[in-house]
Amino acid sequence: MHAMRISEYGGPEVMSWTELPDPVPGPGEVLVRLGVAGVNYMDVGVRTGRAPGWSLPAIPGVEGVGYVTALGDGVQGLAIGDRVAWYYHQGSYAQHLAVPAESLVRVPADVPDETAAAVMMQGLTANHLTTETYPIEPGVTAVVHAAAGGVGLVLTQLIKVRGGTVIGVVSREEKVPVAKEAGADHVIVSSGGGFEDRVRELTGGEGAHVVYDGGGAATFRSSLSALRRHGVHAFYGPLMGVPTLTPAELPNSVLLSHPLVRDHVPDRAALLARTAEVFDLVGKGRLRPVIGARHPLAEAARAHADLESRRTVGKLLLLP
């Protein structure tokens, strides 16, 4: 088989299309033939050496959809030919993967491969952010950073499903229609900070109930200032830069949350519950992930370059 492999940290060019032995599923594992892999900013962090829990050499990628081709000892509940998806499995930029059975979920018949791949990492992240980090309900106003990006578009739709109001923030004017099409009630064009006054204007001087901030250090302090008293700042963008502050700098008795990948889906029960809810919304047409671009798996470097340029909208996918 072939996979995109990195042996040194650096730019997109360090990823190499490499022939490797086919993996063999061990006890409790399933061999999967890749159908679609998703691209996440986390993958850029792996490539540049900023993602914890990875070492070289490495195959980037953590999510995808594929087809079961072999079962390891002790695997029950799955069969050869089943269509499955996974939320976090290191090494997903590969034609074949040996994945723990506990990490897999069956994909419903009414959810296409590309759609399923587009909602695993970003959809389950958004589900956690809108149900546990700050449960959205009617009357809540939420600020969504990168509202035309993969997570931002899903967040916007899930907030609207739950009756909330969305103030989207995008980096370029041409991304405004994309955010509005997803349901954003208001869209602010801002790259970095400086948007808090507009948020307060849109909320009658009160500020937002919650800010979903994947923008890193550049958006951190303005996000805090955009909150109303006791508002929640959900900061989930450490790969974009980590700010420094002391508790005394937190304004308006706000609450600061740092949702992590392992907190989005801490166990199999959460995996099953979140995928069931997300797939159900997809099946009912209430959640429609936007596919921004598709690239051959062997050209993953192009997808990374596009993602880092901030020119992209929606979800980027890799096809074997």
Range name among 42-46, 96-100, 247-251 with the lowest pLDDT average: 247-251
Range name among 39-48, 135-144, 305-314 with the lowest pLDDT average: 305-314
**What is the band of 19 on the pLDDT scale with cuts at 50, 70, 90?**
very high
Q: Specify the pLDDT at position 49.
A: 93
Q: What separation in angstroms does the CA of 84 have from each of 35, 77, 305?
A: 10, 12, 28
Summarised one tens digit per residue, pLDDT across range 261-299 is 888 999 999 999 999 999 999 999 999 999 999 999 999
Q: What separation in angstroms does the CA of 61 have from each of 19, 255, 263?
A: 17, 32, 19
Stated length of the chain = 320
Indicate the class that CATH gives domain 2-119+289-319: alpha beta
Q: Specify the pLDDT at position 215.
A: 83
Range name among 13-17, 101-105, 193-197 with the lowest pLDDT average: 193-197
pTM more than 0.85: yes
- For 320, the token pair is 């074997």
**What is the band of 203 on the pLDDT scale with cuts at 50, 70, 90?**
very high
Stronger pLDDT, 73 or 241, i.e. the higher one? 73
- For 254, the token pair is 């706000």
User: Does residue 239 have a pLDDT over 70?
Assistant: no
- As a whole number, mean pLDDT of residues 85-94 equals 97
Q: Where in the chain are the domains?
A: 2-119+289-319, 122-262
Summarised one tens digit per residue, pLDDT across range 173-198 is 999 999 999 999 999 999 888 999 99
Q: Specify the pLDDT at position 264.
A: 93
Question: Thinking of the domain 122-262, which architecture would CATH place it in?
Answer: 3-Layer(aba) Sandwich (3.40)
β-pairing, 104-106 vs 83-86, is: antiparallel
- As a whole number, mean pLDDT of residues 54-79 equals 97
- As a whole number, mean pLDDT of residues 7-34 equals 97
- As a whole number, mean pLDDT of residues 154-170 equals 98
Q: Specify the pLDDT at position 241.
A: 65
Q: Specify the pLDDT at position 311.
A: 78
User: Does residue 167 have a pLDDT over 90?
Assistant: yes
Q: Specify the pLDDT at position 114.
A: 98
> DSSP secondary-structure letter at 21?
P
User: Does residue 240 have a pLDDT over 70?
Assistant: no
User: Does residue 248 have a pLDDT over 80?
Assistant: no
- Mean pLDDT, the chain, whole residue set: 94
DSSP code string of 293-317: EEEEGGGHHHHHHHHHHT---BEEE
**What is the band of 217 on the pLDDT scale with cuts at 50, 70, 90?**
confident
Q: Same fold for the domain at 2-119+289-319 and the one at 122-262? A: no
**What is the band of 141 on the pLDDT scale with cuts at 50, 70, 90?**
very high
Neighbours of 12 (CB within 10 A): 19
Q: Specify the pLDDT at position 246.
A: 74
Percent of the chain at pLDDT above 90?
A: 86
Stronger pLDDT, 76 or 309, i.e. the higher one? 76
Q: Specify the pLDDT at position 148.
A: 93
- As a whole number, mean pLDDT of residues 152-181 equals 96
